[in-house]
Chain A
Amino acid sequence: KQEVTQIPAALSVPEGENLVLNCSFTDSAIYNLQWFRQDPGKGLTSLLLIQSSQREQTSGRLNASLDKSSGRSTLYIAASQPGDSATYLCAVRPGGATNKLIFGTGTLLAVQP
Protein backbone atom coordinates (compact mmCIF):
# COMPACT_ATOMS: atom_id res chain seq x y z
CA LYS A 1 0.00 0.00 0.00
CA GLN A 2 1.41 3.36 -1.06
CA GLU A 3 2.06 5.79 1.78
CA VAL A 4 3.26 9.36 1.46
CA THR A 5 5.05 11.19 4.26
CA GLN A 6 6.06 14.83 4.46
CA ILE A 7 8.69 16.31 6.72
CA PRO A 8 8.66 18.68 8.48
CA ALA A 9 4.99 19.05 9.46
CA ALA A 10 5.50 22.76 10.06
CA LEU A 11 8.23 25.25 9.26
CA SER A 12 8.75 28.91 10.09
CA VAL A 13 11.45 30.92 8.34
CA PRO A 14 12.37 34.60 7.97
CA GLU A 15 11.70 36.27 4.65
CA GLY A 16 14.45 35.77 2.06
CA GLU A 17 15.59 32.35 3.20
CA ASN A 18 15.91 29.40 0.85
CA LEU A 19 14.11 26.30 2.10
CA VAL A 20 13.52 22.65 1.29
CA LEU A 21 10.39 20.61 1.88
CA ASN A 22 10.64 16.84 1.84
CA CYS A 23 8.30 14.14 0.63
CA SER A 24 8.83 10.38 0.72
CA PHE A 25 6.75 7.53 -0.66
CA THR A 26 6.92 3.81 -0.05
CA ASP A 27 6.22 2.34 -3.51
CA SER A 28 8.40 3.51 -6.41
CA ALA A 29 5.86 2.34 -9.03
CA ILE A 30 4.36 5.76 -9.72
CA TYR A 31 3.26 7.61 -12.85
CA ASN A 32 4.06 11.03 -11.49
CA LEU A 33 4.45 13.18 -8.41
CA GLN A 34 2.83 16.54 -7.93
CA TRP A 35 3.33 19.39 -5.50
CA PHE A 36 0.34 21.50 -4.49
CA ARG A 37 -0.18 24.64 -2.47
CA GLN A 38 -3.23 25.06 -0.24
CA ASP A 39 -4.21 28.32 1.41
CA PRO A 40 -6.33 28.07 4.59
CA GLY A 41 -9.81 26.69 3.89
CA LYS A 42 -9.20 26.71 0.14
CA GLY A 43 -8.73 24.22 -2.67
CA LEU A 44 -5.46 23.02 -4.12
CA THR A 45 -3.27 24.86 -6.59
CA SER A 46 -0.89 22.72 -8.62
CA LEU A 47 2.69 23.99 -8.46
CA LEU A 48 4.79 21.38 -10.24
CA LEU A 49 4.22 17.95 -11.76
CA ILE A 50 7.14 15.58 -12.32
CA GLN A 51 6.62 12.57 -14.56
CA SER A 52 8.19 9.30 -13.43
CA SER A 53 10.80 9.58 -16.19
CA GLN A 54 11.90 13.06 -15.12
CA ARG A 55 14.33 14.13 -12.41
CA GLU A 56 13.20 17.67 -11.76
CA GLN A 57 10.89 20.51 -12.75
CA THR A 58 11.29 24.24 -12.25
CA SER A 59 8.84 27.11 -12.16
CA GLY A 60 10.08 30.52 -11.13
CA ARG A 61 11.49 30.30 -7.59
CA LEU A 62 10.32 26.70 -7.20
CA ASN A 63 12.28 23.59 -8.07
CA ALA A 64 11.06 20.07 -7.44
CA SER A 65 13.21 16.96 -7.73
CA LEU A 66 12.26 13.31 -7.91
CA ASP A 67 14.34 10.27 -7.00
CA LYS A 68 12.01 7.40 -7.74
CA SER A 69 14.39 4.65 -6.72
CA SER A 70 14.76 6.03 -3.21
CA GLY A 71 11.13 7.16 -2.99
CA ARG A 72 11.91 10.81 -2.36
CA SER A 73 11.03 14.23 -3.68
CA THR A 74 12.05 17.69 -2.54
CA LEU A 75 10.51 21.08 -3.16
CA TYR A 76 13.04 23.88 -3.07
CA ILE A 77 11.76 27.43 -2.60
CA ALA A 78 14.27 30.19 -3.26
CA ALA A 79 14.18 33.62 -1.63
CA SER A 80 11.01 32.93 0.35
CA GLN A 81 8.36 35.66 0.67
CA PRO A 82 5.46 36.12 3.13
CA GLY A 83 3.09 35.33 0.26
CA ASP A 84 4.57 31.82 0.17
CA SER A 85 2.94 31.08 3.52
CA ALA A 86 0.58 28.14 2.97
CA THR A 87 0.38 24.37 3.33
CA TYR A 88 2.38 22.45 0.76
CA LEU A 89 1.16 18.99 -0.19
CA CYS A 90 2.85 16.36 -2.29
CA ALA A 91 0.87 13.66 -4.02
CA VAL A 92 1.81 10.60 -6.04
CA ARG A 93 -0.19 8.96 -8.77
CA PRO A 94 0.36 5.22 -8.40
CA GLY A 95 0.30 2.84 -11.32
CA GLY A 96 -3.10 1.61 -12.49
CA ALA A 97 -6.04 2.71 -14.56
CA THR A 98 -7.46 5.17 -12.07
CA ASN A 99 -5.95 8.64 -12.03
CA LYS A 100 -6.13 8.91 -8.24
CA LEU A 101 -3.69 10.84 -6.12
CA ILE A 102 -2.30 9.74 -2.77
CA PHE A 103 -1.42 12.73 -0.63
CA GLY A 104 0.91 13.37 2.24
CA THR A 105 -0.32 15.30 5.26
CA GLY A 106 1.43 18.47 4.18
CA THR A 107 3.97 20.95 5.47
CA LEU A 108 2.61 24.18 6.95
CA LEU A 109 4.99 26.96 5.96
CA ALA A 110 5.07 30.38 7.61
CA VAL A 111 7.40 33.02 6.16
CA GLN A 112 7.93 35.85 8.62
CA PRO A 113 8.37 39.39 7.23
Chain B
Amino acid sequence: ETGVTQSPTHLIKTRGQQVTLRCSSQSGHNTVSWYQQALGQGPQFIFQYYREEENGRGNFPPRFSGLQFPNYSSELNVNALELDDSALYLCASSFELTGVETQYFGPGTRLLVL
Protein backbone atom coordinates (compact mmCIF):
# COMPACT_ATOMS: atom_id res chain seq x y z
CA GLU B 1 0.00 0.00 0.00
CA THR B 2 1.43 3.36 -1.07
CA GLY B 3 -1.14 5.56 0.66
CA VAL B 4 -2.19 7.00 -2.71
CA THR B 5 -5.80 6.41 -3.68
CA GLN B 6 -7.69 7.05 -6.91
CA SER B 7 -11.35 7.19 -7.82
CA PRO B 8 -13.24 5.84 -9.56
CA THR B 9 -11.55 2.51 -10.29
CA HIS B 10 -13.33 2.08 -13.60
CA LEU B 11 -15.23 4.46 -15.85
CA ILE B 12 -17.03 4.20 -19.20
CA LYS B 13 -17.67 7.33 -21.26
CA THR B 14 -18.68 8.09 -24.83
CA ARG B 15 -16.72 10.08 -27.35
CA GLY B 16 -17.06 13.85 -26.88
CA GLN B 17 -17.90 13.67 -23.18
CA GLN B 18 -15.86 15.12 -20.36
CA VAL B 19 -14.37 13.19 -17.42
CA THR B 20 -12.84 14.03 -14.04
CA LEU B 21 -10.51 11.59 -12.30
CA ARG B 22 -9.47 12.04 -8.70
CA CYS B 23 -6.38 11.26 -6.69
CA SER B 24 -5.61 11.53 -3.00
CA SER B 25 -1.89 11.82 -2.28
CA GLN B 26 0.05 10.71 0.74
CA SER B 27 -0.21 13.21 3.57
CA GLY B 28 2.54 15.82 3.33
CA HIS B 29 3.35 15.19 -0.33
CA ASN B 30 3.57 18.49 -2.20
CA THR B 31 3.83 17.08 -5.72
CA VAL B 32 1.47 15.02 -7.84
CA SER B 33 2.05 13.66 -11.32
CA TRP B 34 -0.39 12.09 -13.74
CA TYR B 35 0.41 9.39 -16.27
CA GLN B 36 -1.54 7.70 -19.06
CA GLN B 37 -0.88 4.03 -19.73
CA ALA B 38 -2.33 2.55 -22.91
CA LEU B 39 -2.70 -1.22 -23.12
CA GLY B 40 0.67 -2.92 -23.54
CA GLN B 41 2.62 0.32 -23.15
CA GLY B 42 4.58 2.01 -20.43
CA PRO B 43 3.04 5.01 -18.64
CA GLN B 44 3.35 8.37 -20.41
CA PHE B 45 3.82 11.56 -18.40
CA ILE B 46 0.86 13.94 -18.72
CA PHE B 47 1.75 16.73 -16.27
CA GLN B 48 2.88 17.47 -12.76
CA TYR B 49 1.61 19.85 -10.09
CA TYR B 50 3.84 21.27 -7.36
CA ARG B 51 2.24 23.30 -4.60
CA GLU B 52 -0.92 23.75 -6.70
CA GLU B 53 0.88 25.07 -9.79
CA GLU B 54 1.59 23.15 -13.00
CA ASN B 55 5.28 22.24 -13.01
CA GLY B 56 5.88 20.50 -16.31
CA ARG B 57 3.79 18.94 -19.02
CA GLY B 58 4.24 16.07 -21.41
CA ASN B 59 3.09 15.84 -25.02
CA PHE B 60 -0.65 16.02 -24.31
CA PRO B 61 -3.16 18.54 -25.76
CA PRO B 62 -4.76 21.31 -23.68
CA ARG B 63 -7.98 19.31 -23.30
CA PHE B 64 -6.05 17.46 -20.59
CA SER B 65 -6.01 19.73 -17.55
CA GLY B 66 -5.50 19.36 -13.84
CA LEU B 67 -5.89 20.83 -10.42
CA GLN B 68 -4.10 20.26 -7.13
CA PHE B 69 -5.73 21.21 -3.83
CA PRO B 70 -4.22 22.11 -0.44
CA ASN B 71 -5.64 18.93 1.15
CA TYR B 72 -3.29 16.68 -0.92
CA SER B 73 -6.00 15.79 -3.44
CA SER B 74 -5.87 16.44 -7.16
CA GLU B 75 -7.94 16.06 -10.32
CA LEU B 76 -7.30 15.20 -13.93
CA ASN B 77 -9.90 16.56 -16.34
CA VAL B 78 -10.21 15.46 -19.93
CA ASN B 79 -12.56 17.29 -22.29
CA ALA B 80 -13.90 16.15 -25.66
CA LEU B 81 -12.99 12.53 -25.07
CA GLU B 82 -11.57 10.55 -27.98
CA LEU B 83 -11.41 6.79 -28.43
CA ASP B 84 -7.61 6.89 -27.98
CA ASP B 85 -8.07 8.31 -24.49
CA SER B 86 -9.02 4.80 -23.35
CA ALA B 87 -6.26 3.86 -20.93
CA LEU B 88 -5.24 3.35 -17.32
CA TYR B 89 -4.65 6.73 -15.66
CA LEU B 90 -2.15 6.72 -12.82
CA CYS B 91 -1.34 9.41 -10.33
CA ALA B 92 1.86 9.50 -8.33
CA SER B 93 2.75 11.65 -5.36
CA SER B 94 6.06 12.66 -3.83
CA PHE B 95 7.59 15.20 -1.50
CA GLU B 96 9.96 17.22 -3.61
CA LEU B 97 12.84 18.75 -1.73
CA THR B 98 16.20 17.52 -2.99
CA GLY B 99 15.21 16.21 -6.42
CA VAL B 100 15.76 12.53 -5.74
CA GLU B 101 12.49 11.54 -4.17
CA THR B 102 10.60 8.37 -4.97
CA GLN B 103 7.16 8.69 -6.51
CA TYR B 104 4.38 6.62 -4.99
CA PHE B 105 1.74 5.42 -7.43
CA GLY B 106 -1.95 4.89 -6.90
CA PRO B 107 -3.85 1.87 -8.26
CA GLY B 108 -5.13 3.78 -11.29
CA THR B 109 -8.45 4.53 -12.96
CA ARG B 110 -9.35 2.46 -16.02
CA LEU B 111 -11.13 4.68 -18.56
CA LEU B 112 -12.96 3.23 -21.54
CA VAL B 113 -14.21 5.60 -24.23
CA LEU B 114 -16.85 4.19 -26.59
Contact = CB atoms under 8 A, between A and B. Distances in A.
B56 A103 contact: no
Interface stretch (A14-22, A41-49, A65-73, A75-83): A41-49
B-side interface size class: 20 to 34
B102 A49 contact: yes
Interface in A94-108: 96-106
B90 interface: yes
Interface in B92-113: 92, 94, 96, 99-108, 110
A66 to B, nearest CB: 14
B58 interface: yes
Given A99-B99, A106-B42, A43 B107 contact: yes
B108 A100 contact: no
A31 B94 CA distance: 15
B42 A103 contact: yes
A97 B55 contact: yes
7 closest A-B pairs by beta carbon, nearest first, are A98-B56, A103-B42, A44-B105, A43-B107, A100-B45, A43-B105, A105-B42
